[in-house]
Amino acid sequence: MEWVVKFTSQSQGRDRIFRATQYACALSVYLLRNHSERKDLVAKLKSLEAHMSAGRKLFRLGNTVNAIEAAQRTMQLSDRVLCLCLTVANINRALYFFCDNVLWARSVGLIRDIDRERWSLNSSRCYFLSLVMSLTRDVYVVVQLMAQRARDKHFRQKLEVHLSENPEVAEAVIPQLDAFLFLLWESLKSHPAVALDTLKNVCDIFIPLDKLGIYQSNAGVVGFCGLISSLIGILTLTQPKLRIKP
């Protein structure tokens, strides 16, 4: 129970619990949308989803400063690709949180004379760009891991054994593709932090894609992807060794 108390005492922990609840509600509403006998439950879930969203905006009031500080740190990285990707990602996260803070102030009546739709659109654009740069970092790290793995003699022997033991796969799939997928799998399996971060960012990117109209999915897909990424966020917060660095 001690880790539960410690987790919920952090603002990030509470935000991620609220986020998971929000997207779980969104997914449940989508799955129950055609059940007329569940109208009351659907209404309650929609209300809970709205409350979770409002609560998350309150928790994130200081995140703009945190993102700016993160950008200052990543600017010092010696690897130029990581420096560029993470700095741009953090700058866009700061802008996203700023837009989010403005929208929160508008919702509670502190600010009135703003175009809510325009600010919401700008928020989604910044979130999308941040995720694109984070995914670019993930791909860059994965490629580096695969290159290191490919140079390892033990892995090359393991690959040869894999190809010889699975001739039917080599016949059904291009051998080079099979080798590539095996190399990718082994690289991600040996670095779960990279695998989890990549999966989280892939799930998250469906949210702004849908809002911006770049790729229209549905509330079920958005709810499911948001729930998966939220659970990964909770896992990486409780298990720091599973958090990608830098």
Give the pLDDT confidence score for residue 124 in this predicted structure. 96
The phi and psi torsions of 234 (rounded to 5 degrees) equal: -65, -45
How far are the Cα atoms of 133, 209, 211, 223 from residue 217, in angstroms, in the given order? 22, 9, 10, 11
Gap between the Cα atoms of 127 and 145, Å rounded: 27
Q: What is the DSSP string of 183-212?
A: HHHHHHHT-HHHHHHHHHHHHHHHHHHHHT
pTM recorded for the entire structure: 0.90
Model confidence pLDDT, tens digit, residues 14-68: 889 999 999 999 999 999 988 888 899 999 999 999 999 988 887 787 889 999 9
- The residues near 31 (Cβ < 8 Å, ≥ 6 apart) are 220
Q: Is 151 helix (H, G, I), strand (E, B) or coil?
A: coil
Tokens coding 129: 């760009």
Q: What is the pLDDT along the chain (246 residues), one digit of tens a residue?
A: 555 545 555 678 888 999 999 999 999 999 998 888 889 999 999 999 999 998 888 778 788 999 999 999 999 999 999 999 999 999 999 999 999 999 888 888 888 888 889 999 999 999 999 999 999 999 999 999 999 988 888 888 887 787 676 666 555 556 677 788 889 999 999 999 999 999 999 999 999 999 999 998 899 999 999 999 999 999 999 999 999 988
Dihedral sign for Cα 70, 54, 120, 201, please: positive
Gap between the Cα atoms of 111 and 94, Å rounded: 20
Give the pLDDT confidence score for residue 8 in this predicted structure. 54
Give the pLDDT confidence score for residue 75 in this predicted structure. 96
Give the pLDDT confidence score for residue 40 in this predicted structure. 93
Gap between the Cα atoms of 91 and 73, Å rounded: 12
